[in-house]
Amino acid sequence: MLKYLNSDVVFQEVPGEVTLAINLTGCPCRCPGCHSQALWGNGGENLTTEALDSLIAQCSGHITCVALMGGDGHPDEVNGLMNYVRKSHNELRTAWYSGRSLLSDNVDLHNFDYIKLGPYLAHLGGLKSRKTNQKMYRIEKGQMRNITNCFWK
């Protein structure tokens, strides 16, 4: 079961969206230089559909997107939760920040509006760096369109 440590409303992680970012624990990637090492452990609360509903309700009317930050050890569960958001909160867009370079076969692109792929490599920087290895994709008609350049303004 996915667990989350905390959540926050953020404005920069998904271009043009006011996003409820939910920080998932148990990250298997452990990127050197990671700014979220607290997410490496397995602590936190279970991210059930009821917990997800509660987090969304707390931000009702203020957010346009829900993003799961992490969850790379359980892409099937990330996919399932975003499918749930799609069906139960269809006014919201969905996003996933993954530290993996490749998308798991357990992920159905139709459950997402945005997906960020790529581990953090300090010498290349994050999404705001033109040298970054990370990529942000907008999912359009089941296809991934690279929109990383939206962060370079």
Instruction: Provide the pLDDT for residue 13.
Output: 95
Instruction: For residues 129 and 90, give the distance between their C-alpha atoms in angstroms, rounded to a whole number.
Output: 32
* Residues 73-124: tens digit of each pLDDT: 999 999 999 999 999 999 999 999 999 999 999 899 999 999 999 999 989 9
Concatenated DSSP letters of 88-141: H-TTSEEEEE---SS--TT--GGG-SEEEE----TTT-STTSTT-S-EEEEEET
Kindly tell me if the per-residue pLDDT of 60 is higher than 90.
no
pTM of the model: 0.95
Instruction: Provide the pLDDT for residue 145.
Output: 98
* Domains and their CATH numbers in the chain: 3-152 (3.20.20.70)
* Residues 26-43: tens digit of each pLDDT: 888 787 777 777 777 888
Instruction: Provide the pLDDT for residue 28.
Output: 81
Instruction: For residues 42 and 55, give the distance between their C-alpha atoms in angstroms, rounded to a whole number.
Output: 20
Give percent of the chain above pLDDT 90.
Answer: 82
Instruction: Provide the pLDDT for residue 106.
Output: 87
Map residue 35 onto helix, strand or coil. Answer: coil
Name the residue type at position 84. Answer: Y
Instruction: Provide the pLDDT for residue 91.
Output: 97
Residue partners of 4: CB distance under 8 A and separation at least 6: 22, 23, 24, 25, 44, 45, 47, 51
Contact 117, 29 (CB under 8 A): no
* Residues 63-80: tens digit of each pLDDT: 999 999 999 999 999 999
75: left (phi over 0), alpha (psi -120 to 50) or beta: alpha
Instruction: Provide the pLDDT for residue 26.
Output: 87
| Helices and strands (H and E) in the chain: how many | 2, 8
Q: Are strands 19-24 and 65-69 parallel, antiparallel or unpaired?
A: parallel
